[in-house]
Amino acid sequence: MHYRKAIVTLTAIFLIGSGINAQECGDVNGDGNQNIVDITIILCSILSDGSDCDPFYPSVADIDGRAGITIADASAHVDSLLNGQSLDCSAAGSYSFPLSVEDTLFMPAFGAIPEDILELRLPIKVAYSENVDAFYLPILPNPGPNWEFTGVQSNSGTAAAGSYSSIGDTAIMHGINIEYIGNKFVRTNTSQVLIYERIAPGPSTVTPTLIDRDGVLKYGLEKDGDMIRPTVVYTTYFLPDDTILVSESSLHFESASGNPSPDSVMIHFTSNNDRFLQFSLTPSEPWIQIISFTMIEQGTPDSVLVTINSSLAPVGSSFGTITVMPWDESVTPSVEQIEITAEVLPPLLYPSGDFDCDGVVDIADLTYLILYLFMDGTTPEHCN
């Protein structure tokens, strides 16, 4: 039987010793220092049974004041190194794991997969609220008899220090905010994508499940110094006959104001049945830049390059979208809106006329000046 190559992309919302006697709290490997090596060993102990994490002193690794070594201890160590937060090895408390209605995880499943589909990509998508600094999600891929789970694609732009590990047949998604440039886990972001390849013909389904067991395989988010449990919703998807397959559902960029973004991402558009499906792309914000390599109308297969123009974006966090609009109403895109987040740092030199110090000269500066001159508004300051 001959198969034709197709890539399925679904969006699933869900609105990581011996030798020196280590005594100092946080000196996990007993070398007399507190640094990134200690954080790595804490993660090693969480993602394995600890036997490969030598030297490892558990008594000074439980540093967040709560009983049990979890992703929150690694996050607390990051706070200590970057933010001066004190460490607490007393482990006096226990994790409460309260249910949260703000942070929701929609687990994807795929039903009635056509036999000519050779590859599946199921994005793990997060929609965290404020103050989430780490996540730990152990998942059983459950490929079934017709599919093989081949790995995880990580998106480092949205999950700072986001990564993937495995224990036996379990895929573990984990991430820690190590940069402190805003909160990268807030908003809806794709952190990792589960990848499957077909190994046998026949009708099939793929249904990954979130693991909730005692000990290390217990999912949670580190938020406000505690571990919480997100709300979990399982959703099944079916592929329409004519579908535009979009390779990305969300992108994150960082740049200094006035400078071009150092990053650009290629987005691919294909069809699930090898038909030529025409579509248009519409950015919601002027700072979102789409570079097309097609001289005529866009249609599958096609690729575009996406980046940002920080000269048009205000300093701070910005959010926008790229809408994928098929020309034929009977055609469905796998991702209707590609979500774009941008983190623009202050410029080295603010432009003249930038009265509100947002790094951009626009109508807001005129409004600021009018309020100051005629309505007792705030006195303009020197941004630099």
pLDDT digits (tens, 9 = 90+) for 20-37: 444 688 888 888 888 888
**In the chain, what is the straight-line distance between the N-terminal and C-terminal CA atoms, in Å?**
67
Map residue 176 onto helix, strand or coil: strand
The residues, any chain, with a CB within 8 Å of residue 361's CB and separated by 6 or more, are 351, 352, 353, 354
Its pTM stands at: 0.55
Distance of CA 197 to the CA centre of its chain: 23
3-state class (DSSP) for residue 181? coil
Q: Which residue has the higher pLDDT, 138 or 346?
A: 138
Going from the C-alpha of 281 to that of each of 21, 274, 305, 327, 363, the distances in angstroms are: 60, 20, 12, 11, 27
Residue type for position 381: E
- Supply the pLDDT for residue 14: 34
CATH 2.60.40.10 in the chain is located at: 243-345
Determine the pLDDT at residue 295. Answer: 58
Residue 160: pLDDT over 60:
no
**Residue 322: per-residue pLDDT:** 95
pLDDT at res. 324: 93
pLDDT at 18 over 60: no
The mean pLDDT of 136-155, rounded to a whole number, is: 83
Model pLDDT for residues 298-309, shown as the tens digit of each residue = 888 888 889 888
3-state secondary structure of 336: coil
As a whole number, mean pLDDT of residues 178-198 equals: 69
Provide mean pLDDT across the span 125-130.
75
The CATH number that domain 7-14+101-237 falls under is 2.60.40.680
Q: What is the CATH number of domain 243-345?
A: 2.60.40.10
Q: How confident is the model at residue 213 (pLDDT cuts 50, 70, 90)?
A: low
The number of beta carbons lying within 10 Å of the beta carbon of residue 65 is 18
Domain with CATH 2.60.40.680 in the chain: 7-14+101-237
Q: For residues 157-173, give the mean pLDDT.
A: 59
Query: Is there a contact between 290 and 322 (Cβ–Cβ < 8 Å)?
Result: yes
Beta-carbon contacts of residue 127 (< 8 Å; ≥ 6 apart): 13, 14, 15, 103, 104, 187, 188, 189
Would you state the pLDDT for residue 281? 93
